[in-house]
Amino acid sequence: MRKSFIAKLVAKPEKAADLEALQIELRALVHLHEPDCEIYELFKATDMPHTYFCVATFKSEAAFDHHMHIDFHDRLVPPILECLAEEMELSFHEAV
């Protein structure tokens, strides 16, 4: 069963560029090192300032678990969270 998530990230105005750079680095590493991640993209909202959505789909629960424990995830996520103005909203979905 494929597993997906959508994360809503609202950046502190002065940290929006940092958030983008960190997420772009994370996306590149996911695409390079996680073949069981089918989709990993970042979208910038056009109607909500400093708001981003990260969308990801993994081939399985095991692929998602691998993503959550890979070394670059552990390195990049803490500084991403420091860029946020509010707590990240995270929802999980079953890809169809």
Tokens of 62: 């095991």
* Confidence class for position 1, pLDDT limits 50, 70, 90: confident
pLDDT of 85 = 98
pLDDT of 31 = 97
pLDDT of 21 = 97
Q: Please tell me the pTM assigned to this model.
A: 0.93
Q: What is the pLDDT of residues 11-59, one digit of tens each?
A: 999 999 999 999 999 999 999 999 999 999 999 999 999 999 999 999 9
Burial of 48 (0-12, 13-18, 19+ CB in 10 A): exposed
